[in-house]
Amino acid sequence: MQQRELGKSGLKVSAIGLGCMGLSFAYGPATEEQQAIRLIQSAFDQGVTFFDTAEAYGPHTNETLLGKALASNRDKVVIATKFGFIDGQPPKGVDSRPETIRAVTEASLKRLNTDRIDLLYQHRVDPAVPIEDVAGTVRDLIQEGKVLHFGLSEAGASTIRRAHAVQPVAAVQSEYSLWWREPETSILPTLEELGIGFVPFSPLGKGFLTGAIDAATTFDKTDFRNVVPRFTEENRKANAVLVEALGKIADSKGVTRAQIALAWLLAQKPWMAPIPGTTKLARLEENIGAAAIVLSTDELAQIETALSGIAVVGDRYPAHLQQRVDR
């Protein structure tokens, strides 16, 4: 698979990575361990070298899973993980105190069975801790060889600039897809100016852009989408028009909706590497196949025209979580 450099960081990753969260967390029951390991290893065998996890996914269990799955290929992959929640549990709130960052890093190194973390993100901005202190702590960990690169997740432009002035930020991770394009306003221009890479999460709209979810779909009681306004039955019905438009474009090219959505992201910037997640081998293969799809200027214009008049209905997070996103 094609490799991409995240900004000007020197960190090279596969054009499409694997978001591992859903194997352990948020989208219903965790995948059985050996099945999850097989999926991660299959991703590597198909050219994926960029794997995304976090202390909070499980919590902790996803890092352990990834450490087991990638042990024999550790030097051939880039592992990204995150700190920033109290006890690694988002409902408890954020915690990016320097001592917490250090403790979480040490614990993550053990769970991942590695001697360094390739990319360490702050999972969410902590308003109680100056971003300069966060960046300074990660800078020290980089100097000690425990971390190689620093990243931010869902941070606003001003926070990115302040952090970057203390320790160069290799990548920013935020939600970005054909149904959530807010980063285009200020985040992407800031990253381009500063030479920072971008890692879109939920590039398939938490599964909605695949066409596999409709108004009649029911989610497991533990599935996070049950509380997401955009996924109410009424809003799924309203948002189906976006998937229908995407389907017409995909059909004309002989590919799937998911592949068009991922190929569109890859066409936006050469320093962007999306991390779709899945628990299914067939979906994994489908997602990876998007890396070989090249959209022409005319096709990209066609997508813009087809989707320009479609308004996506519903917030992407419940109100109590949205306020944690720094703008």
Catalytic residues: 57
Phi–psi pair at 214, nearest 5 degrees: -135, -170
Q: Are 209 and 276 in contact (CB under 8 A)?
A: no
Helix, coil or strand: residue 21: helix
Structure tokens at 174: 């935020």
Q: Are 196 and 171 in contact (CB under 8 A)?
A: yes
Q: Are 28 and 57 in contact (CB under 8 A)?
A: no
Helix, coil or strand: residue 96: coil
Structure tokens at 259: 């592949």
d(C-alpha 124, C-alpha 148), whole Å: 20
d(C-alpha 177, C-alpha 191), whole Å: 17
Going from the C-alpha of 223 to that of each of 101, 116, 153, the distances in angstroms are 28, 32, 22
Structure tokens at 199: 């890692």
